[in-house]
Amino acid sequence: MGKRPVIIPTVAIAVVAVGAMTIPALADDGGGDAPSGNGGLPAATGAQAGVAPQTLAALQRDLGLTEDEARARVRKDRWATRTARSLRAALGDTYAGAWVNREGTQMTVGVTTAAAAERVRATGAEPKVVARSAKTLDTLKSRLDSSAGRTASAVSGWFVDVSSNTVTVVARPGKEAAATAAVNATGVARDAVKVVGSTADPRPLADLRGGDPYLIGGASRCSIGFPVQGGFVTAGHCGDVGDTTTGAIDGRQVAQGVVRASSFPVDDFGFVETNNQWTPTAVVAAREPGDPNAVTDLVPVAGSEEAPVGAAICRTGSTTGTFCGRVTALNATVNYGGGDIVNGLTRTDVCAEPGDSGGSWISGNQAQGVTSGGSGDCTVGGETFFQPVNEILQRNNLTLTTDGTEPAEPEEPAAPENPAPANCTGFEASVNGTLTATGARQATQFFRARAGTHTACIAGPANTDFDVALQRWTGRNWQTVGDANNATSSDTLRFSGPAGTYRYQIRSQSGAGAYTMGVDIP
């Protein structure tokens, strides 16, 4: 049976037809001046650059380095960055750019005079006297920028190449001669431009996010459920195996992927394998109810633990935005009419409308499923069913994209020797816990907050130093936006900020014991 069911008055499939549609900051390494010599960069001995373990691992993987070599590379590049910045300011119009060799062992600095070369040599970098300054090269590139319309068909891009002291123009595959002619027509000095061939064809990139819209064959719209490795999961009734999908980048529909798995009826799940323009991310793009174009927050996805009956749950779709309610039943069977009976769905009291099909269901930070169908709408209310995500993952051997946060395990600590004082009172909510040793950290569950002022009070036992920090989810990581870190057993934090997803982190700078935290949330 075809997989484009019509909307029926009582129980409807929520698909709608349409027209054609970090690297983390490095800590100050405290390194000294570079040794003088033949352009060598400072050795990796002495103070080491602070660098996240994930960054070290990525450097080892992608540059073929050992851990010690990766640490050395970070420190050397940090020195190179500082030295290049200083020389650019000191040399002015005689500065012609700086570059580090592939091995990361030497930095060369281009200059236009012999006097400037001596100043470079004194820093430990290697000078190279060239014809054009960095300012001249930037001016030449700007001329090409202003002539972009004349070169677009033959050229995929251009950039200042300080190592060759030219502006390098990258020709599209097989277009080297046409690119050269196009550059000549701009009037830029020919010896200042280098044309190179390339097999690459650059194109814009975009993130895959739960709740975002996509089109199937240009004829119908559904919503992304959850990004997985290689693509995303969605509802099966949205498309057949082999159907192509598109997504919006900068307001234009571009090729996105191909439906590789689809099951409807009996089940209602699909998997879309996406091309390399699309990057799976561990977020749901929460939207203003009734205004699906207004993304209000990026909610992190940490796992897929199934929520029980009665649990609070939120749905996001590309027609109605984000609405929340409760789980009312598990393992429900739904008769959509016309012989389309689907088993194993989860029933909720949340509304949905056509076009929300396939969209995300999340409880806390745990993925739950993708929208199948329902009755009613988001004006009068109704009930909606979703296909559980864990079945989709298991049946199709897929891996959910998550933010790396481990689910919190319930703790049953022994009674603390130092009970927490109860002087954080009068707050809207309270949190109690135990820090077991100096250096211990705990994080609360994340919560949604309106724009306004957050207030938190932390109180630990006497003779301890407990601190509290407020963190906001940026869409990719947790960023500390407020920190109370007095060297006492109690602290108070206040922060005024925008609406978003937040959490508190409690940590022991000294000592152990129970704590009480009171919070006011805007």
Q: Which residue's structure tokens are 């602070």?
A: 50
Collapsing DSSP to helix, strand or coil, 120 comes out as helix
DSSP-derived letter for residue 411 is: -
CB atoms within 10 A of CB 19: 8
How far apart are alpha carbons 503 and 424 in whole angstroms? 18
Residues with Cβ within 8 Å of 251's Cβ and at least 6 positions away in sequence, in order, are: none
Among residues 29, 267, 268, 297, the one annotated as catalytic is 268
How far apart are alpha carbons 100 and 80 in whole angstroms? 8
Angle at 423 between CA 421 and CA 425, to 5 degrees: 130
Residue 197 tokens read as: 């061939």
Handedness of CA 79, 80, 85, 87 (dihedral sign): positive
Among residues 133, 357, 489, 508, the one annotated as catalytic is 357
Verify whether residue 237 is a known catalytic residue: yes
Among residues 212, 220, 237, 467, the one annotated as catalytic is 237
Beta bridge partner(s), residue 252: 249
187: alpha, beta or left? (left if phi > 0; alpha if psi -120 to 50): left
Residue in 503, 506, 519, 483 with CA at minimum distance from that of residue 436: 506
Amino acid at 5: P
Residue 172 tokens read as: 């599209």
How far apart are alpha carbons 482 and 494 in whole angstroms? 7
How far apart are alpha carbons 273 and 109 in whole angstroms? 46
Residue in 226, 204, 230, 282 with CA at minimum distance from that of residue 474: 282
Amino acid at 364: G
Amino acid at 81: T
Task: Count Cα atoms within 13 angstroms, Cβ side, for 312.
Answer: 5
Q: How many residues are given for the chain? A: 522
CA distances from 490 to 49, 157, 325, 426, 438 (A): 33, 57, 37, 15, 15
CA distances from 249 to 17, 22, 203, 208 (A): 20, 21, 10, 11
CB 481 within 8 A of CB 408: no
How far apart are alpha carbons 84 and 100 in whole angstroms? 10
Q: Which residues are catalytic?
A: 237, 268, 357
